[in-house]
Amino acid sequence: MRTTVIHGPQDIRLEERPRPRVLDPGDAVVRVVASCVCGSDLWDYRGIRPLAAPHPIGHELVGVVEAVGSAVASLLPGDFVIAPFSLSDGTCQACRHGAESACDQVTVVGGTDKEGRQLDGAQGEFARIPLADSSLVVVPEPVDPARIPSLLTLADVMSTGHHAAVSAGVGPGTTVVVVGDGAVGLCAVLAAARLGATRIIAMSRHDDRAALAREFGATDVVASRGDTGIAAVKELLGGNLADSACECVGTEQSMAQALGVVRGGGRVGFVGVPAGGPQLPVGQLFARNITVGGGMAPAHHYIPELLPDVLSGAIDPGRVFTQEFGLEDIADAYAAMDERRVVKSLIRL
């Protein structure tokens, strides 16, 4: 089969590798229908995260079940499934409390299984998925091809944006600032609107992303950063700060911005994968009674809540995919994201 392998910075290759098969009783083999490039994939691509050896890449996919192991009870060949980026056993204490991304056996699509074997990345024609019964989510009706991009966002970015908003305590009547205008930040805007926030301020310096943020529900856009950005938020809110903030980048600067725009007693939901060592200023949190929560999103926990709204068209998070590529164009899909020519690259197989 054809699959994407990263060999080093800016070195993405499409290679032929053996088609996966069921190895363990809990496995499923999925034929990938659509995948995408994630902002966190760019860490390897840019050389920010050291690469020990070439490996398959990609962790977001939707597809059709081709085969299942003998212990798989909830899936059948032919099922259309969403594969949450983090795979979980469904039975450990964390899973029982809805925190599947903190599962005792957690791994990610494209990571390694409990035996240390390399898993298939999502950016290929097929993928072996361990822990299939408790990880894969079946889409319970014939799939409209037009809905596939939005279904794909549930594997990661829409669930992650929703996690940011939930962790920030966003609800009816609240005011929220979203720091970050990538796919996750835009999905956080959409999630905040869905949860009933009445004032949603998107921090964006890019006209195209700001426009999409407004279409997703942002009431205001602030382009400035730092103290100037905080002042702009206060001006919009009549001298007040926001009830909450969604931090969707993962840098020290973005966390400082999120903390700076929140009122005393407010909340910050953070989902930006830490890059550059953002350290929490405990003294500031203590003095201003700010609550910080979030982390790696338990996508499997949120998909059942979000899926009906995607299927009905009530939300359309797939609009974060601003360009579509074939698998043979995977190197271009990475370059387009790296150069910020697209918000998020969709890979259609």
Residue 260, sorted as left (phi over 0), alpha (psi -120 to 50) or beta, turns out to be alpha
Per-domain residue ranges of the chain: 2-156+298-348, 158-294
Query: Can you give the pLDDT of all 349 residues of the chain as single tens digits?
Result: 999 999 999 999 999 999 999 999 999 999 999 999 999 999 899 988 888 899 999 999 999 999 999 999 999 999 999 999 999 999 999 999 999 999 998 899 999 988 899 999 999 999 999 999 999 999 988 999 999 999 999 999 999 999 999 999 999 999 999 999 999 999 999 999 999 999 999 999 999 999 999 999 999 999 999 999 999 999 999 999 999 999 999 989 999 999 999 999 999 999 998 876 557 899 999 999 999 999 999 999 999 999 999 999 999 999 999 999 999 999 999 999 999 999 999 999 9
* pLDDT reported for residue 278: 56
Homologous superfamily of domain range 158-294: NAD(P)-binding Rossmann-like Domain (3.40.50.720)
Cα(12)–Cα(19) distance, integer angstroms? 20
Burial class, 72, CB count within 10 angstroms (exposed 0-12 / middle 13-18 / buried 19+): buried
Please name the fold of domain 2-156+298-348.
Quinone Oxidoreductase; Chain A, domain 1 (3.90.180)
Residue 296: φ, ψ to 5°? -70, 125
Sequence-ordered list of residues with C-beta below 8 angstroms from that of 90, at least 6 positions apart, any chain: 100, 103, 131, 133, 134, 135
CATH topology identical between 2-156+298-348 and 158-294: no
Burial class, 64, CB count within 10 angstroms (exposed 0-12 / middle 13-18 / buried 19+): middle
| Cβ–Cβ under 8 Å, residues 154 and 303 | yes
| Cβ–Cβ under 8 Å, residues 178 and 189 | yes
* pLDDT reported for residue 114: 86
CA separation (Å) from 176 to 144, 161, 245, 252, 261?
A: 33, 13, 5, 20, 9
Q: Which amino acid, one-letter code, is at 265?
A: G
Report the SS3 class of residue 63.
strand
* pLDDT reported for residue 273: 86
* pLDDT reported for residue 51: 86
Helix-, strand-, coil-residue percentages of the chain, each rounded to 5:
35, 25, 40
